[in-house]
Structure 1
């Protein structure tokens, strides 16, 4: 396979703190800072390992990267990736999410997107922030792709959006936003905990006030370390409130523009859409404290809500397909856990070196299963129907 061209970081938008993003003016040729959104260490470091690459953190973080086989008139399918991390950690610029293997194997263009996280992206507080700014960032990134991806060898009329965990929640919400209509034609949701898709505005405002009290100063002028310290205190308070180690403190807010209320335009938006969704057989081993039976918790948090979602997609006229990853790497105590499909799709051997969830599996095993998994995703991006895959990846038409 020919090594793809990697471009980035590229600034796709700018935003003042707690304001909606604005597209970069056509005459603005300043290079990107390469910043990622300020964040605390990920709660999934014990599972994934700490990232080996370090990026500057700052609020000029609306950046993306591109992997393409050629900057030509190839009009290739485009895959736009929204990372997970509980709306509080992660970045599209991380080496984990390098799209080079997908781009080379499938002759496609892969775009990996940063968006605002934590309080900067999802604080709901009267007079300060309306919430859902990270979701607004994602819409702006899709608009950038629509305008500019042809310059990178991509077809703006054949865009698949895909996301894992919180990124999958983002994909789910983008599927019903009128602002995102027409910006993509296919969607992939990976291990998406649909029960955490959004929170009522009243509860979000309560959490916003908890954050403001922990901060003790104006969120609009506080420095970043103060914001992150208050985020940590708010996460602890939310844990006491919810009893769930899995539930983030900052998530999308229901009933807030651009989320104009539950189910506002779902049927109309998804009619004719191609959707692939699924989960890993042992997703919940990543979240100790949620229950004594990870298998039952995985069914409750992932399998059952996704099956209900698939049935609703079918009723609305979408074409839905499912997957389940049953791979349990030798020597891993986590089994087919949350995030395990990521090294099968993205990144390199070096990016995933020492990842605890991979256990003792030789990279040759990861690479072979990765080739098959990528082919399934790539066929879906090209045709709307995933190709059959060898075990331990199970593909099905509609809810399993």
Structure 2
């Protein structure tokens, strides 16, 4: 059987941003851009740096393995990639991917998140998004940064998709935003932002650690002052290497302070003037299709939290997600749930955090020797992945994932 021909386009700059400032829309992309013209040198219009946000190694390297592809690190990182079956008037469903990584690592441009398998199997358009991370994205410090800049980057990417995805064969009226871990928590917070209304029709939240929620602003500012002390120079002009070094020291201090191996130092914070009774969440989710879920052994990726994996997973993922689902359903969203129970042979981690990622994205080469996949041949990973991809594709097309089969289980929204 002949594999479908796919067009992979990018990196494309979707926005620009000065350090510690909100993003501004990038100039319109080249309407004739094709995979061999992703680095056009026309100044100020089509050039993309191809950069990902500067970052330290991921704390989940022991579980996922480190990424095997290399991309330049830099602050001109507001780039995205697009995988599409065709650049035509096909008006295909669009899936916009927000990666995880504890708000401190990862990138939508990584080979891990190549959308080829999804695009080919489901005739959908897949968009992978970079956003700012760590102190560059989430520092909260009076006179320097308001915080939540990574969230505003994601908002800018969704606006770019609304304006331009039709030129890549996608339907701007049928956008599903999907994310895992920090990316899924980002989606939950986007649902509190009136600016996000209408930018997506459906949402998939994979293993969102909603127990972390948004950090109180006072606490975030205390961590910001701690970071500034470690940096010992103006954050607005400091070298990126110095920022990363101070970020590492702040993370270690936060670990000592909180005792949590899971809680990042730099995370989204409560919005200025936010009012939980304002009704933004209820207004934003009304009429949305939402799919959320978790992996049976999510917390095996975070040793040292003090309890056994099942209890921790229930407390950090299952119960907060259940409360979210109930609230969304009561507000008028159509809500579906899942749980992934697959425990790969030869893996010490079981159905761990991030395990669904190679089932959805990437390739044999991208996930080569990933510890969480154990001794399972790639052919078996891809075979199981086709089932998971089918559920995600069906959801993106219709708003329901359809019937699920083991080891993917359909859940029931509490209530």
TM score, norm. by length of structure 1: 0.98
Pick closer, same or farther for the CA change 1:41–1:263 going to 2, 3 Å: farther
Could you list the per-position Cα deviations for residues 56-115 of structure 1 after superposition, in whole angstroms to 9, with x for gaps in the alignment?
000000000000000000000000000000000000000000001101100000000000
Which of 254, 265, 269 is 2:284 aligned to?
269
**In terms of mean alpha carbon deviation, does 383-392 or 156-165 score higher?**
383-392
Matched, 1:18 2:33: no
Which of 379, 387, 393 is 2:402 aligned to?
387
Matched, 1:367 2:367: no
- Per the alignment, residue 223 of structure 1 pairs with 239
Pick closer, same or farther for the CA change 1:164–1:379 going to 2, 3 Å: same
**1:219-258 matched pairs, under 5 angstroms:** 219-256=235-272
In structure 2, distance between residues paired with 1:380 and 1:49 = 30
In structure 2, distance between residues paired with 1:238 and 1:162 = 29
Matched, 1:310 2:312: no
In structure 2, distance between residues paired with 1:92 and 1:395 = 28
In structure 1, distance between residues paired with 2:119 and 2:352 = 25
Alpha carbons 1:65, 1:113 under 8 Å: kept: yes
In structure 2, distance between residues paired with 1:263 and 1:37 = 35
- Per the alignment, residue 36 of structure 2 pairs with none
In structure 2, distance between residues paired with 1:26 and 1:261 = 36
**1:1-400 matched pairs, under 5 angstroms:** 1-26=3-28, 28-256=44-272, 260-262=274-276, 264=278, 265-399=280-414
Could you list the per-position Cα deviations for residues 167-207 of structure 1 after superposition, in whole angstroms to 9, with x for gaps in the alignment?
00111111221111000010000000001121011000000
Which runs of no fewer than 5 residues in structure 1 stay unpaired? none
Alpha carbons 1:276, 1:320 under 8 Å: kept: yes
SS at 1:194 equivalent: coil
In structure 1, distance between residues paired with 2:276 and 2:384 = 38
CA-CA distance at 1:364 after TM superposition: 1.4
In structure 2, distance between residues paired with 1:51 and 1:208 = 29
In structure 1, distance between residues paired with 2:77 and 2:276 = 29
Alpha carbons 2:28, 2:46 under 8 Å: kept: no
Could you list the per-position Cα deviations for residues 201-251 of structure 1 after superposition, in whole angstroms to 9, with x for gaps in the alignment?
100000000000000000000000000000000001111111101000001
Alpha carbons 1:255, 1:262 under 8 Å: kept: no
In structure 2, distance between residues paired with 1:169 and 1:207 = 20
What is the RMSD of the two structures over their aligned residues, measured on CA atoms?
A: 1.2
In structure 2, distance between residues paired with 1:382 and 1:345 = 16
Which runs of no fewer than 5 residues in structure 2 stay unpaired? 30-43
In structure 2, distance between residues paired with 1:263 and 1:375 = 38
In structure 2, distance between residues paired with 1:382 and 1:256 = 36
Could you list the per-position Cα deviations for residues 279-304 of structure 1 after superposition, in whole angstroms to 9, with x for gaps in the alignment?
00000000001123011100000011
- Per the alignment, residue 38 of structure 2 pairs with none
In structure 2, distance between residues paired with 1:272 and 1:367 = 33
Alpha carbons 1:98, 1:347 under 8 Å: kept: yes
**In terms of mean alpha carbon deviation, does 310-319 or 320-329 score higher?**
310-319
Detail structure 1 runs of 4+ shifted over 6 Å in the superposition.
none
